[in-house]
Chains A and B, each alone.
Chain A
Amino acid sequence: MEFALDLSANKYADVPYEEKERLFKEMKSDERWPHVLYGCYECGICVASCPSARFYDFSPRIIAQAAAREDVDLLYTLMNDSVWDCSQCFSCDRCPRGNSPGQIITVMREVAVRNGLQSAKEALEGYGRIIYKIMSTGTQVSPDMLQPNAFPDWGGHVNEISEHLEVWRKALPPETLHTTETGWKVDEKTLIELYLIWHMTGVMDMIEQIDEGLYMILVDVMEERLEDAGYDVTFD
């Protein structure tokens, strides 16, 4: 029987153990780590409640176990080949041991992004426009994203929305919702504050690791707006 997820030590045998260990230490040093991992009973409750486990070769139990055992090789494999299947619903938070496999995965994903792992880049392919939207406008999805080519599996009604978008947005009673490029009207000052938060928290460094082209576009947009608002801020 062949499994999609290769958990043998062979797959990433060419990656030096020291490199895998460095990434593990980055996970373990995260402030959240001791609050989301207490060991594992191997009861499988997390797997039973996990939506991703039903459709992917994915197991929050294996991830919690590997983390609890500090199995550096296995965690490296899971960080590359498994964590992006998680639905982040946190159904696994019902763990009787008090673990949160979903939060363990969150930390592992952040480490993968910060270190620019190829697997993270591949998992986020096609996702760049969403990152651009949330980071530059302060709202994650916008009405003008409802285009037939983006959602072909949602049927003809997306086409209808797209055709009538301008008028249908004006036909919304709340005044803040007359927008098409953002979910609602966001103040200029609000955006400036958001950009300053991105600047002060190192989030842009993560974007640079995962998508350099997107990073450069965002820097242009943000630096210009910040300069107009009187801030001398660069993201270099």
Chain B
Amino acid sequence: MIHLPILKAADRKWETDPSQAPTHDLKDEIFQLEKEGEWIVQRVPEPYFEVKTKYGRIKKIPLEKTWHHKSCGQCGHIPGYSTSIFWLNRQFGLDYHDPTNQTSCTAWNYYASATSNPEAQAAVAIRNFASAYKTGYFPLIHCGTSFGHYKEVRHALVHQPELRRKVKKIMDRLGLPFVIPEEIVHYSEWVYAMRDRIAERQVVDMSHIVATVHPACHYHKLIEEDAIYSEEIYGAQRTAIVTGTLQALGVQVKDYSTWFDCCGFGFRHILVSRDFSRSFAVQRKIEVMKEEANPDVVVTHDTGCVTTLDQSQFAAKAHGKKVGVPVMSDSQMAALAMGAHPYKVLQLHWHNTNNKPFLEKLGIDWKKKWDEFEAECEKIRRGEKAYLTWEDADA
């Protein structure tokens, strides 16, 4: 009889090794194309953080001199998401640029309606990259879909000479340089890289908070090798993003069985077929989280995920579903931990599901905070001030 050792999952240690990666490193080709005069590669400005991606390769995350590629869904419907990202940068005194020479990546529409094509999508991406390059700031992508889509565009441009030729022609016509960033960086990677510094400045205890994480599909499923992984988090078998940030803040992150599932956003569906989005978000995500982890908050890192998981709970409540968990982004959680105002900065009044019990659990007097925000709004209504300023936000 042959006796073979029984390998238990817990005994197995997963170590990423770039030399064993099943894919080649795209960066080699990106720099080679620069040598051949095909395009300019915008370098990640120093200082930068180094993090590991899925196969153990090193990715550079810029600390500052960042050009904030905003998200249409965040800015349009949940603006405290983007505001929190900017607030964190300001708290650390970091140099950043919030551009007006920026369009959406237009990928939401592309995935929803297909009324575009690869050439147009690549040209929109490169136009935005050229805009960033001209300012000297490095693109930091706020939206998960823009992040995933731009990685796909980069991949296509590297491998399809004809597409490069077409896009080069368009950039020449626009009088813009053909620029590709050395790294495509998502804002949540910046938050993850900054997590220890954020934790050093934490003023709100979160050690009694239970959270569940929803990872954005377009963050870790599109060009999956370029997402952040860590041996310390799920044994490097799932992306470390968001979970790593929350753990640094002392939050108890609990697992649930539908972690890998999408949120139900669906691009076209969230706008014109929301019965699907609602059903999936509630039945495959929120109810499962409630049943298995009973979280105080759901934390995610993309526009559509916050929107779908948050907004879908209203109608489900009428049907007696097990819902009622507030949803926010990692940037909002990080800002809240550092003492940001829940309404002037996090802008939680744009969210749907009741978050007041969560704020109370954190010891935050939401009524007082709301009155402070309302007082500022009243000044705007009376014409005493034009806008709420950053100074007002921290007053």
Residues of A whose CB lies within 8 Å of any CB of B are 31-32, 35, 49, 51-52, 54-56, 84, 87-91, 93-94, 106, 109-110, 112-113, 120, 123-127, 130-131, 134-135, 138-143, 145-146, 151, 153-155, 157, 160-161, 164, 167-178, 182-187, 189-191, 193-194, 196-198, 200-203, 206-207, 210
Q: What DSSP secondary structure best describes chain B's contact surface? A: helix
The 8 Å CB contact of B102, one of A134, A170, A190, is A190
Q: Note all chain A residues with C-beta closer than 8 A to B108.
A: 134, 140-141
Q: Is B17 an interface residue (CB 8 A)?
A: no
The 8 Å CB contact of A189, one of B101, B221, B280, B311, is B101
Given A89-B218, A183-B76, A203-B116, is A134 in contact with B82 using a C-beta cutoff of 8 Å?
Answer: no
The 8 Å CB contact of A134, one of B109, B278, B314, is B109
Q: Note all chain B residues with C-beta closer than 8 A to A140.
A: 72-73, 76, 104, 106, 108-109
Q: Is there an interface contact between B314 and A167, defined as CB atoms closer than 8 Å? A: no
In the assembly, what is the distance between CA of A51 and CA of B129, in Å?
33
Q: Note all chain B residues with C-beta closer than 8 A to A189.
A: 101
Residues of B whose CB lies within 8 Å of any CB of A are 70-77, 79, 82-83, 86-87, 98-104, 106, 108-109, 111-120, 123-124, 127, 131, 148, 156, 159-160, 162-163, 169-170, 173-174, 176, 217-218, 221-222, 224, 260-262, 264-269, 271-272, 274, 276, 278-280, 284, 311, 314-315, 344-345, 347, 349-350, 352, 373, 376-377, 380-381, 386-390, 392-393
Q: Is there an interface contact between A171 and B100, defined as CB atoms closer than 8 Å? A: no
Q: Note all chain B residues with C-beta closer than 8 A to A170.
A: 380, 386-388
Q: Is there an interface contact between A139 and B278, defined as CB atoms closer than 8 Å? A: no
Give the 3 A-B residue pairs with the shortest CB-CB distance, closest first: A109-B114, A138-B103, A183-B75
In the assembly, what is the distance between CA of A160 and CA of B76, in Å?
15
Given A49-B260, A145-B76, A155-B352, is A185 in contact with B100 using a C-beta cutoff of 8 Å?
Answer: yes
Q: Is there an interface contact between B124 and A197, defined as CB atoms closer than 8 Å? A: yes
Q: Is there an interface contact between B344 and A173, defined as CB atoms closer than 8 Å? A: yes
Name the residue among B104, B113, B266 with the largest chain A CB count within 10 angstroms. B113
Q: Is there an interface contact between B217 and A201, defined as CB atoms closer than 8 Å? A: no
Q: Is there an interface contact between A194 and B72, defined as CB atoms closer than 8 Å? A: no
Closest A residue to B120 using CB positions = A201
Q: Is there an interface contact between A31 and B376, defined as CB atoms closer than 8 Å? A: no
Further 8 A-B residue pairs, CB within 8 A, beyond A190-B131, A193-B127, A203-B120: A31-B162, A55-B280, A135-B109, A140-B76, A167-B377, A173-B392, A200-B173, A201-B170
Smallest beta-carbon distance A27→chain B, Å: 12
Some 14 contacts from A to B, beta carbons below 8 A apart, are A49-B260, A54-B280, A88-B266, A93-B222, A139-B104, A140-B72, A154-B315, A168-B350, A168-B377, A170-B386, A172-B387, A184-B70, A200-B173, A210-B115
Q: Note all chain B residues with C-beta closer than 8 A to A89.
A: 217-218, 221, 262, 265-266
Q: Is there an interface contact between A174 and B98, defined as CB atoms closer than 8 Å? A: yes
Q: Is there an interface contact between A143 and B77, defined as CB atoms closer than 8 Å? A: yes
In the assembly, what is the distance between CA of A138 and CA of B124, in Å?
10
Q: Is there an interface contact between A130 and B101, defined as CB atoms closer than 8 Å? A: no
Q: Note all chain A residues with C-beta closer than 8 A to B170.
A: 196-197, 200-201
In the assembly, what is the distance between CA of A200 and CA of B173, in Å?
10
